[in-house]
Amino acid sequence: EAGVAQSPRYKIIEKRQSVAFWCNPISGHATLYWYQQILGQGPKLLIQFQNNGVVDDSQLPKDRFSAERLKGVDSTLKIQPAKLEDSAVYLCASSAPTVSGANVLTFGAGSRLTVL
């Protein structure tokens, strides 16, 4: 099966500019996640969707970050305006139950953002 697709892979912007990242999850995966991974740290959940509804966005900086998953398939994460501390890799992941019933998370390749 095809994996989680993300684009762009790399983006360099200046502070106060805007940027958008796109993600297409594995076909049939109802749950989609956006994680932020700062260099040297573990992934931090920004937002979780179940189909096109938000399950958890408690750690999303809503004054500058927004995300949508309008048709319950692909998703877009936007940052406007960007700050220097937003420099990170933005990982999209999707999950579905396995035959054992447990959920397993699969990541895309990530989008690396550098804010100058």
Return residues touching other proteins (CB under 8 A).
Answer: 31, 33, 35, 40-45, 48, 50, 55-56, 89, 91, 93, 95, 100, 102-110
Task: Compute the radius of gyration of the chain from its Cα atoms.
Answer: 14
| Closest approach of other proteins to the CB of residue 20, in Å | 19
Q: How many Cβ atoms sit within 10 Å of the Cβ of residue 77?
A: 23
In 10 A of CB 31, how many CB atoms?
Answer: 17
The span from the CA of 60 to the CA of 68, in Å, is: 12
In the bound state with other proteins, the residue whose beta carbon lies nearer, of 14 and 56, is 56
Question: Which residue, 70 or 102, has its beta carbon nearer to other proteins?
Answer: 102
Lookup: tokens for 20: 């958008």
Of 81 and 105, which has the nearer Cβ to other proteins?
105
Q: Which is nearer to other proteins, 21 or 33 (CB)?
A: 33
Extract the tokens encoding 98: 């396995």
Closest by CA to 94, choosing from 53, 44, 35, is: 35
CB of 25 to other proteins, least distance (A): 14
CB of 91 to other proteins, least distance (A): 6
Q: How far is the CB of 80 from other proteins (least distance, A)?
A: 24
